[in-house]
Amino acid sequence: MMAYIKLCSECRSRSISASKEEWICPHCGTDLSDEPVFRQIKIKKNWWETEKSKNKKKKALA
Ligand SMILES: [Zn+2]
Protein backbone atom coordinates (compact mmCIF):
# COMPACT_ATOMS: atom_id res chain seq x y z
CA MET A 1 0.00 0.00 0.00
CA MET A 2 1.41 3.37 -0.96
CA ALA A 3 0.61 6.85 0.18
CA TYR A 4 1.86 10.16 -1.15
CA ILE A 5 3.05 13.30 0.53
CA LYS A 6 2.83 16.70 -1.11
CA LEU A 7 4.14 20.03 0.02
CA CYS A 8 1.76 22.93 -0.29
CA SER A 9 3.20 25.75 -2.36
CA GLU A 10 1.04 28.25 -0.45
CA CYS A 11 1.37 27.37 3.24
CA ARG A 12 4.36 24.99 3.04
CA SER A 13 2.50 22.33 5.00
CA ARG A 14 2.70 18.67 4.21
CA SER A 15 -0.34 16.59 3.51
CA ILE A 16 -0.72 12.88 2.93
CA SER A 17 -3.09 11.03 0.66
CA ALA A 18 -3.54 7.61 -0.90
CA SER A 19 -4.29 9.22 -4.24
CA LYS A 20 -2.28 11.75 -6.22
CA GLU A 21 -5.39 13.03 -7.96
CA GLU A 22 -7.74 15.77 -6.75
CA TRP A 23 -5.50 16.99 -3.97
CA ILE A 24 -6.70 19.86 -1.85
CA CYS A 25 -4.43 21.17 0.90
CA PRO A 26 -6.17 20.40 4.20
CA HIS A 27 -4.44 23.36 5.81
CA CYS A 28 -5.29 26.22 3.47
CA GLY A 29 -7.54 24.72 0.79
CA THR A 30 -5.16 25.26 -2.13
CA ASP A 31 -5.57 22.88 -5.06
CA LEU A 32 -2.39 20.79 -5.13
CA SER A 33 -3.51 18.36 -7.82
CA ASP A 34 -0.85 19.62 -10.24
CA GLU A 35 1.93 19.82 -7.66
CA PRO A 36 4.60 17.10 -7.88
CA VAL A 37 4.65 14.36 -5.25
CA PHE A 38 7.18 15.23 -2.57
CA ARG A 39 7.50 11.75 -1.17
CA GLN A 40 6.03 8.32 -1.65
CA ILE A 41 5.74 6.12 1.40
CA LYS A 42 4.67 2.64 2.27
CA ILE A 43 1.83 2.43 4.73
CA LYS A 44 -0.07 -0.26 6.50
CA LYS A 45 -2.94 -1.68 4.52
CA ASN A 46 -5.99 0.60 4.59
CA TRP A 47 -4.94 2.61 7.63
CA TRP A 48 -7.47 5.30 6.76
CA GLU A 49 -10.21 2.68 6.56
CA THR A 50 -9.29 1.72 10.11
CA GLU A 51 -9.63 5.35 11.13
CA LYS A 52 -13.02 5.51 9.46
CA SER A 53 -14.32 2.44 11.25
CA LYS A 54 -13.06 3.86 14.55
CA ASN A 55 -15.15 6.95 13.89
CA LYS A 56 -18.15 4.80 13.06
CA LYS A 57 -17.80 2.99 16.37
CA LYS A 58 -17.68 6.31 18.19
CA LYS A 59 -20.83 7.45 16.46
CA ALA A 60 -22.56 4.15 17.22
CA LEU A 61 -21.74 4.56 20.88
CA ALA A 62 -22.92 8.14 21.06
ZN1 LIG B 1 -1.69 24.80 2.08
Burial of 6 (0-12, 13-18, 19+ CB in 10 A): buried
Number of domains in the chain: 1
* Confidence check: pLDDT of 19 > 80: yes
> Counting every residue, how long is the chain?
62
Put simply, whether the predicted model's pTM sits higher than 0.85 gets the answer: no
Tell me how far the alpha carbon of residue 45 lies from the centroid of ligand 1, in angstroms. 27
Range of the domain at 24: 2-61
* Tens of pLDDT, residues 21-59: 899 999 999 999 999 999 999 987 766 666 666 666 666
Predicted local confidence at residue 44, as pLDDT:
79
Tell me how far the alpha carbon of residue 21 lies from the centroid of ligand 1, in angstroms. 16
Distance CA 55, CA 23 (A): 23
Tell me how far the alpha carbon of residue 16 lies from the centroid of ligand 1, in angstroms. 12
Tell me how far the alpha carbon of residue 15 lies from the centroid of ligand 1, in angstroms. 8
* Confidence check: pLDDT of 7 > 80: yes
Tell me how far the alpha carbon of residue 62 lies from the centroid of ligand 1, in angstroms. 33
Predicted local confidence at residue 51, as pLDDT:
60
